[in-house]
Amino acid sequence: MDEKKKVMLSGIKPSGDLTLGSYLGAIKNWAERAEQFDCYYFMADLHALTTRQNPADLRRRTLEQLAQYVACGLDPEKNTLFIQSHVHAHAELGWILNCYTMFGELSRMTQFKDKSKKNADNINGGLFTYPSLMAADILLYQPDYVPVGDDQKQHVELTRDVAHRFNNLYGETFKIPEPYIPKVGARVMDLLDPTSKMSKSDDIGNGRIVLMDKPEDIMRKFKRAVTDSETGEHCVRYAPDEKPGVANLMQIYAACTGKTYDEIEAEFTGQGYGAFKIAVGESVVETLRPIREEAQRYMKDKGYLEALCRTGAEKAEYIANKTLRKVYKKVGLVAAVR
């Protein structure tokens, strides 16, 4: 008898376009997990509403992100892919968990403080309480693991605290998820500011590579990438603290070609940064070409995407509603007669 797979869940907001950093740092490794885990990946479109969105752009990015997931190798037969707002249990449990999350806990959230500074004219209730919705996103599926980066550890800790609080009040209801430290992917930095992570919400975008960028745009951006003023036979060398721009390009090249840093240094011995940046750009073009072409093909097939949305939501909803029914009963809500 096959041992039941552990459950893993992750979501990305469609508030910006997926970048090379999104792919090399996370999504590239997700496909491998399907053999080991029962994986749920969703487009967190409800979370995107905490900042003002152009409705047409949000719809486009949500569907484009779904198409890109599949194009990046996430087989919908092996992974549950869905749009958050298509599973109503997220919003319903989000409200209930609002009532079990303390004001002081929410006020200590680092991201709320950071985003309040960036959106001073729109510090809304959703921006404050979205960690409760994030807790609902996670706890609905009773996952064993939640992949986290440094910027999300605090939210997983809060989710665990809320789950413990609820379980202590009403008995065992939620599985307590563990943070999952993913296989190390490339940490891709901005091409123009190698001290900052490549952002998917950068409006200008000259320092970032988007998965759907055309080859000529990718090459243009890499030719303008920041390096340093060093010259000589061994200017292409891996020294992150001393040469952050060069180290960033080397990491991208290594991730796209499979070459080691020593091999890259040897390959470009005696060559300047110009040749190196062109080589990195070309490797990225070829890495992203099949993803872009596949995603474009899926985006043109409206029927396929609609079927994907429907099937994914049905699979997710079946699991989510089992948890929600249990919660409703525990807190004393009258079950609806269907």
| Residues that are catalytic | 115, 197, 200
Q: Is residue 132 a contact partner of residue 162, using CB atoms and an 8 Å limit?
A: yes
CA distance 171 to 191: 51
Beta bridge partners of 80: 40
Measuring CA to CA, which residue among 121, 115, 111 is closest to residue 149?
111
CA distance 313 to 87: 6
* Edge-to-edge strands, sheet with 145-147: 79-83, 37-43, 6-12, 145-147, 178-180
Q: Is residue 234 a contact partner of residue 269, using CB atoms and an 8 Å limit?
A: yes
Return the residue matching tokens 């008995």: 171
Q: Both tokens of residue 42?
A: 């969703």
SS3 of 318-334: HHHHHHHHHHHHHHCCC
Q: Both tokens of residue 138?
A: 């996670």
CA distance 221 to 16: 18
DSSP 60-106: HHHHHHHHHHHHTT--TTTEEEEEGGGSTHHHHHHHHHHTTS-HHHH
Backbone angles phi, psi at 197, to 5 degrees: -65, 145
